[in-house]
Amino acid sequence: MTASAEWTARDASAVWHPFTQHATWTGDRPVVVDRAEGPWLIDVDGRRYLDGVSSLWTTTLGHGHPDINAAITAQLAKLDHSTFLGTTHTPGIELSEALVALAPKGNGPELTKVFYAGDGSSAVEAALKIAYQYSTQTGHPRPKFVRLDQAYHGDTLGAVAVGGHDLFHDAYKPLLLDTIGVASPGDRALGPDRNGQAIAELRAVMRESGDQVCAIIVEPMIQGAAGMLDYDAEFLRAARELADTHGALLIFDEVATGFGRTGRMWAAEHAGVVPDLLTCGKGITGGYLPLSAVLAAEHVYEAFLTRPGDTRPRTFFHGHTYTANPLCCAAALANLRVMGEQDVIGQAARLGERLAKLLEPVGAKDSVVEIRQLGTMIGVEVPPVGARTGFAVCQAARERGVWLRPLGDTVVLMPPLTLGDDETDLLVNALAEALDEVIA
C-alpha cells in the first residue's frame, strides 16, 4: 500500500472536504500533499505535480518563497496575534497603507480605507453590510442588491444571496436576502450582443427599483467560478454610471482577480473604473494565510462617523476574532513588496501572453469548445463526452505531472504568476495530451 493510499483511507474516515462529493472521493485518488516548492506540489510518496491552479487561485510567487517565509518567521518572533478590536499593530497599519497606495485609480472615488476580514466570503459579507448600512445613514434604507447571473462571491449566506450559480446556490434560495438578478455580460448563451443585453437589463432594473438598491455587486471583467466568463469593460463603465445615477454603491469583488491575476494589479484597471467598495482576498498573502480586505471610498467611511445630534451610533458593528492577524499581514506585506521589486505584474502579463500563444493550437482542437482568458486566468471549456469530462481531463493531466481542478466541464489553468518557461510548456503540453486522451 502506498503512503498516499494509507493517508487517503485515514482521511476518508475523519475528514469532510469542501465542495467535495465523498461518495467518489476515495476512488478519485486525491493527491496527499506533503511538501511544496515553487510551483510544485510533492505528495507523501514523493511524486511531483505542477500546481496548475495556484492552490485554488491563491499562490502568486510560488510555494515556499524565501521572502514570505522570512517575513512570517520574523513576525512570529515579535507578535503572534493581538486583537484589532480596541488595539492596533504595525503590520496591520503598514498593510493598509500599502493597499491604499496600490488601489485602482480612474473613473470613481479614491479608495482610502481598509477593513479586514478572513476569507473572500467574509470580505463580501462585510461589503454587503457596509453598503446596506451606508444607505440607512445617508438617505433611506435600501434593502436590495443587484447581482449578475452566474456570479460567485463565496459561500456564506450573504455571499450566496448575491451569487447566481445555480448548482452552488439553488438549494439555499429560501434563506437568502432580497436580490435582483441581471443577465451576465459574459454569458455565451446570450450570443454576441450579451454585453448590450446585460447593460440594457441593468438599466431597466435600476430605472424600476434603483431607489431600493443599496449596491450593485460584480466580479469585474471575468466571472471566475462560472467558468472564466470574461466580458467587455464597457459593462463596468455602464454599471459605474448607473450606480451613480441611482445613488447605489458599486462593489467590485476582486477576490479572484486582484494582485496581478489578470496581468494588471486589479481587473478594475482594464476598464478604468473604480468602485465604492472593493473586496480582495485569495492572492493577498501570496497564498500563504487566510486574509481578505474591503477597500472603501472615503465617502463610505465618512457615513459611519457619528455626528452631533445622532440618536444612535453610526459604528459598523462587524468584525472577526482574527481580523488583521499580524502573521497574515506580514505575509501580505512581503508578497506586495516582492511584487513591486520584481515587477510581478509585468511577469504575470507576459505569462498570460505566452500562455495565449501556446494555447492557440489547443483552442483549434475539436476537443475544445472555447478557451477564455484574461491574463493568467484561463478556462478551457470541453464538450461533455461523459459524466465528468472536465475532471477526467484533469486526471489525465495529473498522470503527466500537472495538478488541475476543473469547474464542471471547464478546465482551469491559473498558475503562479512567476511560472517559468519550462513549466509553462509542461502545463500546456500536459493539457493538450490529456484532451487528446480523454476526448479525441
Segment (H or E) for 40:
strand 40-43
Q: Is 160 in the site for ligand PLP (CB under 6 A)?
A: no
Side-chain half-sphere CA neighbours of 340 within 13 A:
9
Q: Is 154 annotated in some ligand binding site?
A: no
| Among residues 62, 154, 164, 260, the one that binds ligand PLP under rule CB under 6 A | 154
Q: Is 65 in the site for ligand PLP (CB under 6 A)?
A: no
Of the two residues 117 and 345, which places its CB atom closer to ligand PLP in the complex?
117
Q: From the CB of 261, what's the least distance to ligand PLP, in Å?
A: 10
Q: Is 165 in the site for ligand PLP (CB under 6 A)?
A: no
* Residue numbers 205-224 binding ligand PLP by CB under 6 A: 219, 224
* DSSP-derived secondary structure letter, 28: G
Interior CA angle at 133 toward 131 and 135, to 5°?
Answer: 70
Please give the Cα distance from 408 to 14 (Å, whole number): 26
Q: Which stretch binds ligand PLP (CB under 6 A): 113-121, 311-319, 346-354, 405-413?
A: 113-121
Please give the Cα distance from 154 to 250 (Å, whole number): 18
Binding mask 258-297 vs ligand PLP (x if CB under 6 A, - otherwise)?
-----------------------xx---------------
| Among residues 162, 249, 255, 328, the one that binds ligand PLP under rule CB under 6 A | 255
Q: Is 124 in the site for ligand PLP (CB under 6 A)?
A: yes
Please give the Cα distance from 292 to 99 (Å, whole number): 11
Of the two residues 145 and 152, which places its CB atom closer to ligand PLP in the complex?
152
Q: Residue-wise over 43-79: b if at least 16 C-beta within 10 A, else e?
A: bbeeeebbbbbbbebbbbbbbebebbeebbeebeeee
Q: Cell triple for residue 278? A: 472593493
Q: Is 252 in the site for ligand PLP (CB under 6 A)?
A: no
Of 356, 403, 395, 399, give the one whose Cα is nearest residue 379: 356
Of the two residues 210 and 415, which places its CB atom closer to ligand PLP in the complex?
415
Phi, psi values for residue 27, rounded to 5°: -65, -25
Q: Which parts of this chain interact with ligand PLP (CB under 6 A)? A: 119-121, 124, 152-154, 219, 224-225, 253, 255-256, 281-282
Q: Detail the residues annotated as belonging to a binding site.
A: 120-121, 152, 253, 282, 319-321, 405
